[in-house]
């Protein structure tokens, strides 16, 4: 006798060919994966909770996309090639009109990156989505947080702060017109993981991290683990197109400590500037040089004139309601 929750699996069942590395997918006690010879496996897990990481009633198709996107973003930040993922899902009730679009958004992004759903678990409970993702990276080529070196440039992919602007709009902290709210909202709800960029930076970059909690805090993790400091040119930070229309103070705050950007922050030797630009160009991703790593401890901020800036910063805090 199949229960309602057993039937959920049908929404995630694919007919197409399995990934060459997947020897056994959904339906047994475990999935079986055969890693390519000599490759390391990169593994990351993220849990998204309703009311904390996304709004109650969030669009299920964008939510499906986002749950996998934030995990793929972790692979991107290691320079790992996506391979497979597991999905554990707690749902208050098994509603087809929620499950179908959720699976659609999730699996469309999975297909885009050749990342196969190999197992999972579904249960009744407060809405909670936990994905664990697996990727491959050649030994020694992973972009680790502890690999930044004094003299490295600091680079940012894409743009920052539009997701944070959308949040400010939803909260009523900043009044946004409908079109701006919608466009910024898509940036918040359906981020683009920079997987291709991460792969193309393997032989070029030293350290990398994905910006999920805000640039200042996430760059801080690189500095801490690499035992280095940095100077950041705050007014060089690439503001998102919606945020770019706002005042300097808002731009600085949201690019530095916005959260939910899912861009890459990476460091690379200054002798590799052309290589960085060529790599980014090859995957149609903008990159901006925004500072440099040095030996002096701490993160020091500079304005457009090179003068020190003292800004109160706080990363995105999971205690605060979204």
Burial 286-307 (b: 16+ CB within 10 A, else e): ebbbbbbbbeeeebebbeeeee
Q: Is 3 in the site for a copy of itself (CB under 8 A)?
A: yes
Binding site for Mg(2+): residue ranges? 29, 44-46, 74, 121, 210, 213
Rounded to whole angstroms, how far apart are CA atoms 81 and 21? 12
Q: Is 260 in the site for a copy of itself (CB under 8 A)?
A: no
Rounded to whole angstroms, how far apart are CA atoms 143 and 299? 21
Look up tokens 């749902």; give the residue: 91
Could you give the angle at the alpha carbon of 238 between the alpha carbons of 58 and 52, nearest 5°? 25
Q: Is 143 exposed, middle or buried (0-12, 13-18, 19+ CB in 10 A)?
A: buried
Q: Which string of x and - marks every residue 207-236 that binds a copy of itself (by CB under 8 A)? A: -xxx------x-------x-----------
Burial 63-83 (b: 16+ CB within 10 A, else e): bbbbbbbbbbbbbbbbbbbbb
Q: Is 27 in the site for a copy of itself (CB under 8 A)?
A: yes
> 150 to 209, contacts with a copy of itself by CB under 8 A?
208-209
Q: Is 265 in the site for a copy of itself (CB under 8 A)?
A: no
Look up tokens 């990476």; give the residue: 266
Among 69, 80, 154, 276, binds a copy of itself (CB under 8 A): 80
Among 8, 89, 242, 268, binds a copy of itself (CB under 8 A): 89
Q: Is 300 in the site for a copy of itself (CB under 8 A)?
A: no
Q: How far is the CB of 64 from a copy of itself (least distance, A)?
A: 17
In which element (H, E) is residue 166 found? helix 162-171
Q: Is 7 in the site for a copy of itself (CB under 8 A)?
A: no
Contact between 267 and 205 under an 8 Å Cβ cutoff? The reply is yes
Among 7, 96, 108, 125, binds a copy of itself (CB under 8 A): 125
Contact between 163 and 186 under an 8 Å Cβ cutoff? The reply is no
Binding site for ATP: residue ranges? 120-121, 145, 212
Q: Is 75 in the site for a copy of itself (CB under 8 A)?
A: yes
Contacts with a copy of itself by CB under 8 A lie at 1, 3-5, 23-24, 27-35, 37, 40-47, 49-53, 74-75, 77-78, 80, 84, 86-90, 118-121, 123-126, 128, 130, 132, 134-135, 137, 139, 142, 144-146, 208-210, 217, 225, 314-315, 317-319
């Amino acid at each position: 006798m199949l229960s309602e929750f057993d039937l959920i699996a049908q929404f995630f069942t694919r007919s197409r060919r399995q990934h060459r590395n997947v020897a056994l997918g959904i339906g047994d006690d475990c999935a079986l994966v055969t890693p390519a010879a000599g490759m390391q496996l990169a593994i990351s897990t993220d849990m998204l909770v309703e009311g904390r990481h996304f709004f109650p009633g969030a669009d299920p198709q964008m939510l499906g996309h986002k749950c996998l996107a934030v995990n793929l973003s972790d692979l991107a930040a290691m320079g790992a090639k996506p391979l497979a993922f597991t999905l554990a899902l707690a749902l208050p009730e098994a509603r087809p009109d929620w499950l179908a679009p959720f699976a659609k958004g999730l699996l469309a992004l999975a297909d885009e990156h050749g990342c196969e759903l190999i197992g999972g678990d579904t249960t009744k409970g407060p809405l909670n989505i936990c994905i664990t993702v697996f990727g491959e990276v050649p030994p020694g080529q992973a972009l680790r947080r502890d690999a930044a070196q004094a003299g490295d440039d600091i680079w940012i992919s894409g743009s920052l702060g539009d997701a944070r602007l959308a949040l400010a709009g939803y909260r009523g902290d900043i009044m946004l017109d409908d079109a701006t709210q919608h466009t910024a909202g898509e940036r918040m709800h359906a981020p683009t993981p920079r997987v291709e960029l991460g792969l193309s930076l393997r032989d070029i970059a030293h350290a990398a991290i994905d910006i999920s909690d805000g640039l200042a805090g996430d760059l801080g993790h690189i500095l801490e683990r690499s035992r280095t400091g940095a100077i950041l040119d705050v007014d060089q930070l690439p503001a998102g197109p919606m945020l770019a229309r706002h005042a300097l103070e808002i731009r600085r705050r949201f690019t530095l400590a916005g959260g939910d950007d899912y861009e890459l922050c990476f460091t690379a030797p200054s002798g590799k500037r052309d290589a960085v630009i060529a790599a980014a160009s090859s995957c149609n991703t903008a990159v901006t040089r925004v500072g440099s790593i040095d030996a002096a401890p701490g993160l020091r901020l500079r304005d457009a004139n090179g003068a020190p800036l003292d800004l109160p910063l706080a990363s995105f805090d999971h205690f605060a309601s979204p």
